[in-house]
């Protein structure tokens, strides 16, 4: 099924075309028509299946612009997934001019409180931070019409059940809901059924590995793993590689080990500060970093494009975790390779995998004495995410005035539209903060607008305007 066959608003079809999305994935084909018709669903969806688009498109299709408060709430278990979902919403809603607000922990609560004072169409949040805002009275949920629970099983694993109970008790009755879970153990099934009794279950009967995935397994004692890893990195040329480990300590040690050998490597784990985790992901996505050493925080939900190689440096402790890890590659019919180091003293999970796929076997590697690393040090050809394609001719400007100067979105729109050759279709998302404001200029007209605003006044005042940096 093609996206063009869906009855979506023209701005959404335009964004999909620029993002080069043409054909729906199976989960999208099952979910999108039902959500567009107002049904509630509880769906099993594995990593890389395309579920974000499956709920984001119906949400944006049904947005009304006269409401001041959020109309859809998306709850996710991690800050990284919240950021990814928000980026996808921004890309899809580029021509709708919708505003999407992210509320996650380890960000300034005061800044979030100020941001929530402006019009917000879709709210993306982690449970703990959202509940804090509810208690403080800084979010208004009375206009909600749709609720999404993404990675419900992971929320349970992280201990968010009681927090979810408190949040759901504050939501309006009769919400359309869309719940996604990679697995449906009895506790999750019972919980979701009780709270969303009218939701239809869409369930896959068994977990599946990516169809284009090549798997290799090497017998390796932990003491031999560093040596084997260098041999693997030498033998298989890579664009992007994720090395999975089971502990934070191992992630830090392995990152240091590779960094000392002049490899472009960064870590991603739960002990890092939020800005460190976002920076690691950003560098990995834009090609600055070629190797990402990750704990299981990266195995769930994150859309990391063109990962050609997964290495299970530590073999996962459950079969489910293995499937999530290797699902980081071989996505959307692309080929991928997963290499796993299997400790001969602990074969339990590997034997479960063999039961699932009898074709897998363990090799005994022959290690060479030398490991040339020059190939890994070559500069990379930058790859672009689908969400970035829609933004490749977008320039984000920073205006050094905000709410403290009583600046409003209409003031910016008026000033920009007064520039020759620029109109409302060239203006993207506008964010007004306390002392700064940000506006996206579309269609390659950013430099024109920047130059003009630097010479003009806004609200009869000369205001400094610059290109916004990524950290802003």
Strand 362-363 and strand 241-244: pairing? unpaired
Out of 134-143, 184-193, 378-387, pick the least confident: 378-387
Q: 2-16, 30-44, 372-386, 456-470: which has the minimum mean pLDDT?
A: 372-386
Same topology between domain 3-202 and domain 213-386:
yes
Distance CA 442, CA 393 (A): 6
Choose the weakest-confidence range: 272-286, 358-372, 401-415: 358-372
pLDDT tens sequence across 318-366: 777 788 788 777 665 567 888 999 988 888 888 878 877 777 888 766 5
Q: Taking 70 as the threshold, does the pLDDT of residue 188 lie above it?
A: yes
Enter the pTM of the model.
0.61
- Is 3-202 in CATH node 3.30.300.30? no
- DSSP per residue, 89-104: HHHHTTTTT--EEEE-
> What is the pLDDT at residue 184?
78
Tokens representing 160 are 């968010």
Torsion from C-alpha of 109, 110, 116, 117, nearest 10 degrees: 170
pLDDT of residue 464: 92
**pLDDT tens track for 208-230:** 666 678 888 988 888 889 988 98
The CATH class, in words, for 213-386 is alpha beta
Cα dist. 206→44, 45, 190, 203 in Å? Answer: 10, 11, 19, 9
Q: Where are the domains of the chain?
A: 3-202, 213-386, 393-467
- For the stretch 282-305, pLDDT in tens is 888 777 788 999 987 655 556 666
Q: How far apart are CA 211 and CA 331, in angstroms?
A: 9
Domain 393-467, classified CATH 3.10.450.50, yes or no: no
Question: What is the number of other CB atoms lying within 10 angstroms of the CB of residue 372?
Answer: 9
Exposed/middle/buried for residue 415 (C-beta within 10 Å: 0-12, 13-18, 19+): buried
């Amino acid at each position: 099924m093609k996206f063009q066959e869906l009855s979506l608003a023209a701005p959404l079809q335009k964004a999909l075309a620029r993002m080069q999305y043409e054909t729906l994935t199976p989960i999208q084909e099952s979910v999108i028509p039902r959500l567009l018709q107002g049904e509630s669903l509880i769906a099993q969806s594995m990593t890389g299946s395309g579920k974000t688009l499956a709920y984001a498109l119906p949400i944006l299709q049904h947005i009304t612009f006269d409401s001041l408060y959020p109309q859809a709430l998306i709850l996710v278990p991690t800050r990284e997934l919240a950021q990814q979902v928000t980026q996808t919403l921004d890309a899809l809603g580029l021509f709708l001019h919708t505003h999407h607000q992210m509320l996650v922990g380890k960000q300034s609560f005061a800044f979030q409180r100020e941001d929530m004072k402006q019009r917000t169409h879709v709210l993306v949040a982690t449970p703990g931070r959202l509940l804090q805002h509810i208690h403080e009275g800084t979010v208004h949920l009375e206009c909600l019409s749709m609720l999404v629970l993404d990675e419900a099983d992971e929320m349970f694993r992280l201990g968010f059940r009681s927090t979810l109970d408190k949040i759901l008790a504050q939501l309006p009755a009769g919400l359309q809901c869309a719940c996604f879970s990679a697995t449906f153990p009895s506790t999750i099934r019972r919980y979701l059924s009780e709270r969303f009794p009218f939701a239809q279950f869409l369930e896959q009967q068994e977990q599946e590995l990516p169809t284009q995935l090549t798997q290799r397994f090497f017998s390796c004692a932990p003491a031999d793993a560093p040596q084997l890893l260098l041999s693997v990195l030498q033998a298989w040329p890579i664009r992007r590689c994720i090395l999975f480990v089971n502990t934070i300590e191992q992630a830090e040690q392995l990152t240091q080990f590779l960094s000392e050998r002049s490899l472009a490597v960064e870590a991603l784990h739960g002990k890092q500060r939020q800005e460190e985790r976002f920076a690691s992901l950003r560098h990995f996505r834009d090609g600055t970093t070629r190797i990402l050493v990750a704990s299981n925080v990266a195995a769930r939900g994150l859309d990391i494009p063109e990962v050609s190689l997964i290495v299970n440096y530590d073999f996962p402790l459950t079969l489910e975790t293995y499937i999530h890890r290797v699902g980081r590659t071989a996505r959307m019919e692309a080929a991928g390779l997963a290499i796993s180091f299997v400790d001969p003293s602990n074969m339990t999970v590997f034997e479960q995998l063999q039961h699932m796929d009898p074709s897998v076997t363990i090799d005994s590697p022959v290690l060479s004495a030398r490991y040339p690393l020059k190939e890994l040090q070559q500069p990379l050809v930058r790859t672009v995410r689908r969400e970035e394609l829609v933004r490749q001719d977008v320039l984000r400007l920073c205006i050094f005035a905000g709410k403290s100067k009583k600046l409003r979105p209409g003031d910016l729109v008026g000033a920009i539209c007064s520039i020759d050759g620029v109109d409302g279709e060239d203006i993207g998302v506008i964010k007004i903060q306390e002392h700064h404001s940000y506006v996206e200029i579309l269609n390659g007209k950013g430099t024109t607008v920047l130059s003009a605003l630097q010479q003009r006044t806004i609200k009869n005042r000369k205001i400094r305007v610059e290109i916004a940096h990524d950290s802003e």
